[in-house]
């Protein structure tokens, strides 16, 4: 339980810190900053975990780990998982879309070079950006997030709520305008 509580606290501190940085400073390489900041916060997490008592001064014996090094390893694993599987993904979802696939397409091209038109046509192993947009529209339609009426696309009530939430998140984190 100690590891879970310390990971929760560290994740809250990290998220507050990175959110403050993004709101105060224009950061071009957000993922680099986030990963660097995570590595910087990992050391204090390990130190705090190592120096605090197994019961944190209030946990009952049944909720403490018998071996401190096992609990430290578990806590470190949880913090890494919380960062890479949670915090980073939420920020990335709010900020980036399909850029990585474009890099892969360029890499996989015969000469490692594509024109802008080639990128449009060859996106996702030759399927093209039109395919990607259609796939995304189909997914939004299947999930009830959009309605297609007379060839026009509009948000459903559910889609409007999702759009408002992510628009707020992008504005709050100052991720609009993308880099």
Mean model confidence pLDDT for the chain: 88
Q: How confident is the model at residue 154 (pLDDT cuts 50, 70, 90)?
A: very high
pLDDT greater than 70 at residue 179:
no
Segments making up each domain of the chain, as ranges: 2-95, 100-173
Encoded tokens for 179:
């880099």
What is the pLDDT, as a whole number, of residue 91?
Answer: 80
Q: Which residues pair with 152 in a beta bridge?
A: 149
Q: Which residues pair with 154 in a beta bridge?
A: 147
Q: How far apart are alpha carbons 165 and 56 in whole angstroms?
A: 36
Global pTM value = 0.57
Beta strands in 10-156 (DSSP E): 146-149, 152-155
The predicted-structure confidence for 54-106, as pLDDT tens digits, reads as follows: 889 898 888 888 888 899 999 999 999 999 988 888 887 666 556 777 888 88
Residues 6+ apart with CB under 8 A from 120: 128, 129
Contact 36, 67 (CB under 8 A): no
What is the pLDDT, as a whole number, of residue 16?
Answer: 94
Residues 6+ apart with CB under 8 A from 106: 112, 113, 114, 119
Encoded tokens for 144:
């009830």
Contact 117, 134 (CB under 8 A): no
């Amino acid at each position: 339980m100690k590891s879970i509580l310390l990971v929760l606290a560290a994740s809250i501190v990290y998220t507050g810190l990175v959110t403050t940085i993004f709101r105060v400073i224009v950061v071009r390489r957000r993922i680099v900053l986030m990963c660097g900041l995570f590595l910087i916060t990992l050391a204090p997490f390990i130190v705090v975990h190592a120096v605090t008592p197994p019961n944190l001064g209030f946990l009952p014996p049944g909720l403490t780990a018998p071996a401190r090094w096992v609990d430290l390893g578990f806590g470190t694993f949880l913090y890494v998982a919380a960062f890479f599987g949670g915090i980073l993904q939420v920020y990335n979802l709010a900020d980036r879309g399909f850029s990585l696939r474009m890099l892969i397409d360029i890499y996989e091209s015969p000469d490692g070079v594509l024109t802008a038109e080639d990128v449009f046509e060859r996106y996702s192993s030759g399927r093209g950006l039109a395919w990607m947009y259609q796939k995304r529209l189909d997914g939004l339609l299947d999930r009830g997030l959009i309605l297609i009426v007379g060839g026009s696309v509009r948000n459903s009530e559910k889609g409007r709520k999702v759009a408002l939430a992510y628009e707020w998140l992008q504005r709050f984190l100052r991720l609009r305008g993308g880099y």
